[in-house]
Amino acid sequence: MVHSAAKNPSGRVGNAPAFAAAGAICAAIWLAYAGGLAAPFIMDDASSITANRSIRSLWPLWPVLVYEHGEGRTIDGRPLLNLSLAVNRAVTGTSPIGFRVVNILIHCGNAILLMALARLLLAQPAVPAAVRGRAGPIAFAAAVLWAVHPLGTGAVTYVVQRAESRGAFMILATGFVAVRGMLAADAGSKTWGLPVVAILSALAGTAKETSVAIPFVTLLIDRALLSGSWRGTRCHWPWHLAAAASWPSVALMLTALGGRGSSAGLDSASPWLYLLTQARAIWLYLARIAWPQGLIFDYGDFLSSGLAESGGWLLLTAAVFAGVVYGYAKFPITFLGPLLFFVLLGPTSSVIPVKTQTIAEHRAYLASACLIVPAITAAWLVARERLSLSPRFCGLAATAVALAIGLSTAARNREFVEPEILWRKALAAEPRNERAMINLAAQLIAKKDSVSLADAERLLAQVAETGRYPKVYNVNVSSLAKAQGRYSEALTALDAILKLTPDEPATLADRGYVLWKLGGLPEALTSLDQALALDDQIAPAWLNRGNVLLDLDRREEAERSFARSVDVDPKYAKGWDHLGVARQDRGDRPAAIAAFNQAVACDPKDAEAVYNRGRLHAEMGRANSAIADFTAALRIDPTLRNAYYNRAVLLIRAGRTSEARADIEAFVRLGGSPPPAVLALVGLSTKP
């Protein structure tokens, strides 16, 4: 029997206009996620975004859609994802903020689509009357709670997992159009939905492989809420066939376009051990949905050791899954959500291994909605039918829950701003996680203080014992050696990387920098030129090439290299700073001050750039501006000893000898050696 759609105002959610409900959802998402905008790129963002040459130009379009695949990059086999990153870069530039804003907008779209789909389904005649009458508010509450749930941070704040949120958008959009189309067809109305469903589903296949679940989603929804029986679904077979357009699309992505390489697939790891791993992972996801605390950014790539470790989890999961299937057969409306939960997780959480990430909370991003919507619906029924609570009380309770989990999401986003927190938590959850060790070491190396460098060295020593991840291990060994001034060791590590990947531009560029530090200028220049021949969009390589050319006394070429570094990245503060110094050296003061101003605008915390601008101000006779810059530079970096000396000289000229004395004392304390005449001017006959 085919049911007709319930009559509800299509433009309203309860008594509120649909656009107001959508606006409220977007506002809630923004409040929960805005704190994570300032986070840097993390982990796989580097290979799929910053080092991804295929997204640097939108035209010609073909290289954006058909590109050379790396080993296990998130973008591989997903051209729609790659295209979205390319468009994002073209519009917002290379800043992580621009990418996260787009991720938030996608998440907003997903939440609005979820609300629309849930409202449409809850308004069907097969649903209890108490729910149908409040389908709008229930759908709105469920969408808000899902939208601000901390589990979503893995698919929103982690930039490259736009793969997950973009895939979810395509599944929701296809499902919504299919359901609307089937209802319209049942009512005898003309609809253009069928080709739209096919197009959306096919595009979904280019976004993420989980789109193979789309026809199962539409079929299960049809059986439970639209047709009322398996026999009844036959009249909708064109819609389910159109929804299956993702299958040939995914097949094409996995074959002709290279797929996921050895990072995923039946030959990437043991399907049996992966299944055992997922038997536990599913319960971990359920726990995080019910109680979203203790989220872990990366669980590593560990597989279960066998039945002894995971047999109990497998039996439990199999029993629950069988119970859900049986429950759906008897009570399809009640068990629709739980069955869709398993269906959506199936492509990544069954027997097809994802070797690089065996457990990942972001996989439950859309699947969690399949539990949240029925949970809110059940809570409404209990509150109204059993407890006789007022709608106002129910609304206040939902608001309180949304506020609590929204605050938790905001706190989770702040952890992304300090990735060290993410990696410490990951390592605490799994002390064997070498990937967490390597990434935590990278964060500690960036801090550059002696304690952090010692901790990083200890972590890398642990990784060395296993011999896993040789490439990223040597990248970090090189960074650590550079931070400690051990450039010969850094060169050895970089050469080890080049044995694995001989034509990697970033490593060649880094090698050129290290050779420059070691004094091998011709070899350094050769290495930098090799890097730029492979990828001329590496701003630090142009900068270091300029430094090498300066030391070779090829000043005009050096200035051109500095200029090229800021052409490549207009927000590269160090490039502007070095360009300013080069312009100052050849006497072009107006151009130099413009470059220094750009450097400070790009990075107000770059003490060296502020100091160099101060030097130029002093040279131009602008004493007050120079003193202000030296003061600002010292506020950023109190160890910048030359800033003390230069400020002291200007203070002496201004007759402010007592202030100058303090600066000379600081200069000497930091290892400086002022001329005796200066010491005498500030009342110090000898070094203090």
* CB-based burial, 288-308: b 16+ in 10 Å, e otherwise: bbeebeebbbbbbbebbeeee
What's the pLDDT at 264?
64
Distances (CA, A) of 273 to 270, 315, 466: 5, 14, 21
Number of residues that this document lists for the chain: 688
Nearest CA-CA partner of 680 in 666, 668, 664, 667: 664
pLDDT tens per residue, range 40-86 = 999 999 989 998 989 999 999 999 998 887 667 889 889 999 999 99
- Decide if pLDDT at 494 tops 80: yes
* CB-based burial, 386-409: b 16+ in 10 Å, e otherwise: eeeeeeeebeeebeebbeebbebb
Nearest CA-CA partner of 480 in 510, 446, 505, 513: 446
Question: Quick one: average pLDDT of 214-235?
Answer: 96
Tokens of 70: 């790396």
- Decide if pLDDT at 686 tops 70: no
Q: Using pLDDT thresholds of 50, 70 and 90, give the confidence band for residue 666.
A: very high
- Cα distance between residue 344 and residue 170, in whole Å: 13
pLDDT tens per residue, range 165-214 = 999 999 999 999 999 999 999 998 888 899 999 999 999 999 999 999 99
pLDDT tens per residue, range 250-261 = 998 888 766 666
- Decide if pLDDT at 265 tops 70: no
- Cα distance between residue 632 and residue 470, in whole Å: 42
| 89 Cβ contact partners less than 8 Å away, ≥ 6 residues apart | 49, 55, 56, 98, 99
Q: How many CB atoms lie within 10 A of CB 15?
A: 9
pLDDT tens per residue, range 455-485 = 999 999 999 998 889 999 999 999 999 999 9
What's the pLDDT at 5?
43
- Cα distance between residue 406 and residue 3, in whole Å: 38
| 276 Cβ contact partners less than 8 Å away, ≥ 6 residues apart | 303, 304, 306, 307, 309, 310, 311, 313, 314
Question: Quick one: average pLDDT of 336-345?
Answer: 97
Distances (CA, A) of 381 to 5, 179, 289, 388, 435: 21, 24, 21, 9, 46
In the 8-state DSSP scheme, what is residue 16? E
- Decide if pLDDT at 4 tops 70: no
